[in-house]
Amino acid sequence: MTTSMIVGGCAQASRPGLAGAAPALAESSSLYRLASSSVRSTTVYESPTVSFALDRIDQRGLPLDQTYRRTATGKGVTVYVFDGGISTTHPELTGKVRTGFTAFPDDPKICNPHGTAVAGAIAGSTLGVAPDARIVDVKMVQCDKLRGTIKAIVDGAHWVLEDHKAHPGPAIANWSFIADTAQRIPSLDSAVSELRAAGIPVIVSAGNLDIDACHVSPGNALGTIVVGASAVATEQLADGATRTVDRRSPGTAFGPCIDLYAPGDSVLLPSLDRDNAPISQLWNGTSMSAGYVSGAAALFLETHPTATPDQVAFELKRNSTTDVVHDTRTTSSRMLYVGTRDAQLLARATPPR
């Protein structure tokens, strides 16, 4: 049986990261706009953003407008992040991270910046989808090997089940890792089933390998929400003109087992330098994409706190933008979308910055 696993397969972008604390935005807190439709009024939380990923997922199409609009903030939702440790002091995450389970008590608390980046995609103050969500650190990576074990994941899942009983409310499990590319892993399949039975959707990265996602565990476990990475690229047309399009990010798993695509190519997220000091940095990979989808699930669960995992998956797919991602090697695709019709109307009335 497979006993080790790869965390995310998510490499930092090859070009230099952006040093220093998270970039200051034009306004530090969300603006509140009330946009009305013929049916109802909806509060739209709006903030300028330097994150193309947030900018992309609140729009149906390109170009971008340097603004992030959504109708919730993730308040009251807990996201259990299974990873290699998460910074509790990064400015993007201060006050949002609770230390939870560790499979390796003698390890340093943080193995690398991967978990901090994923948590930042979910709930970062300026770089996350759901800035009012809360993160619980579930550490299942061994620092000297930079790998986790199947036992660590399963033990972490069982800890989450008990913690969720002690801290009830809407919750999500983010699994930004891959464990195997040749077989199913029954113990991970069972862990997914147990989490789902407790009302916790499991959102997983498809993997940064150019293979059919149907072969990748734990994404091939029944009931997971599988996320691939998208990129914004320039495409040349037959007449020599160019256009900007969404594409499957290079090296991302493909095929019909991917439920959603989300940005995962050179996305700006919180990170740590060699001394574990906070910086912001560009990241690549499906780990980050899964984080964005977990944040989107938190937005939905804020206003639908009793939704089942199946209902969360249905809503994410129902609300997605269909067939805009190129090169998915399947007949259809879904791009994550967190905006609303009201947000779209507001966007049309607001000129790009």
Interaxial angle between packed helices 286-303 and 114-123, expressed in degrees from 0 to 180 and rounded to the nearest 10: 30
Catalytic residue among 47, 217, 230, 287: 287
37 catalytically annotated: no
114 catalytically annotated: yes
Which string of DSSP letters, residue by residue, matches 123-167? Answer: H-TTTSS-TT-EEEEEE-EETTTTEEEHHHHHHHHHHHHHHHHHS
Torsion of CA 288, 292, 295, 296, to 10 degrees: -160
Q: How many residues does the chain have?
A: 353
Catalytic residue among 55, 58, 87, 114: 114
**Tokens 């000129």 -> residue:** 351
CA distance 153 to 173: 11
Q: Is the dihedral of CA 124, 127, 131, 135 positive or negative?
A: negative
H or E element at residue 20? none
Contact 137, 149 (CB under 8 A): no
Catalytic residue among 58, 65, 83, 259: 83
Nearest to 115 by CA among 132, 90, 95, 78: 90
Instruction: Write the single-letter amino acid at 298.
Output: A
CA distance 244 to 255: 23
Nearest to 341 by CA among 29, 30, 38: 38
Pair of tokens at residue 64: 């971008």
Active site residues: 83, 114, 287
